[in-house]
Amino acid sequence: MLREARLEVGVQLMVGLPGQSLLSLRRTVRQVAVLRPDFVRIYPVLVLKESGLAALHAQGCYHPLTLDQAVAQTAWMKNFFAAHGIRVVRMGLQPGPELEESLLAGPYHPAFGELVLARLMLRRTQRVLRDVPEGTKIRLSIAARDRSIFQGMGSANITRLRQLGLLERFELVTDPSQRRATLNKIETTTKAI
């Protein structure tokens, strides 16, 4: 009926609901994809003061996801929806003093969406660099506005690439015409010096 009325259809999903498992989350995401909504919003479940969830949390009956778990699960969801041509228009709650004052527990971060995008960019970078032989350097290109998600919050992605021994295998360039949240391998350069 909504489509017949030419209305845009969006679905809001929460990650970390009581009783939710990775299996049930994936099942839900697949069911939503079958519906072909125009867009999706993804919110991590937070425990707020004076809520039913606060009571469950206080009794030890509900344990919210960690920030890392929420980011990882949301990253999987975003990738799945992107592969099915469904836009994710928001990840995480709008930060504000009211939310922060009422927050008791849960995976809150004012830049939650950026954490998810940084996680996805790190995974893409690792996949590309996995096949680059040690001692060889390639050129990677990102959108000009994506430098912060490439680096990750507090340069976490750079640190991880260094730990994996992959940091010396590429040169990074930006392209103002490149689509956001993409990573392109431009060319293979000569042996690293």
Q: Let me know if residue 60 belongs to a domain.
A: yes
15 and 84 in a common domain: yes
154 and 86 in a common domain: no
- The pLDDT score that the predictor gives to residue 134 is 87
Q: Let me know if residue 122 belongs to a domain.
A: no
Segment 48-63 shows an average pLDDT of: 96
102 and 16 in a common domain: yes
Q: How far is the CA of 172 from the CAs of 31, 101, 112, 180, 185, in angstroms?
A: 38, 40, 25, 15, 10
What digits encode the pLDDT tens for the residues 112-144? Answer: 999 999 999 999 999 999 988 888 899 999 999
What residue numbers bound the domain in which 158 lies?
A: 129-191
What digits encode the pLDDT tens for the residues 73-123? Answer: 999 999 999 999 999 999 999 999 999 999 999 999 999 999 999 999 999
141 and 77 in a common domain: no
Q: Let me know if residue 101 belongs to a domain.
A: yes
* Amino acid in position 36: R
183 and 147 in a common domain: yes
What band does 51 get if pLDDT is binned at 50, 70 and 90? very high
159 and 99 in a common domain: no
Q: Let me know if residue 98 belongs to a domain.
A: yes
pTM listed for this prediction = 0.91
Q: Is the pLDDT of residue 192 over 80?
A: no
168 and 93 in a common domain: no
What band does 188 get if pLDDT is binned at 50, 70 and 90? low
Q: Is there a contact between 69 and 22 (Cβ–Cβ < 8 Å)?
A: no
What digits encode the pLDDT tens for the residues 10-48? Answer: 999 999 999 999 999 999 999 999 999 999 999 999 999
- The pLDDT score that the predictor gives to residue 131 is 87
The total number of structural domains that make up the chain: 2
Q: Parallel, antiparallel, or unpaired: how do β-strands 10-15 and 39-44 relate? A: parallel
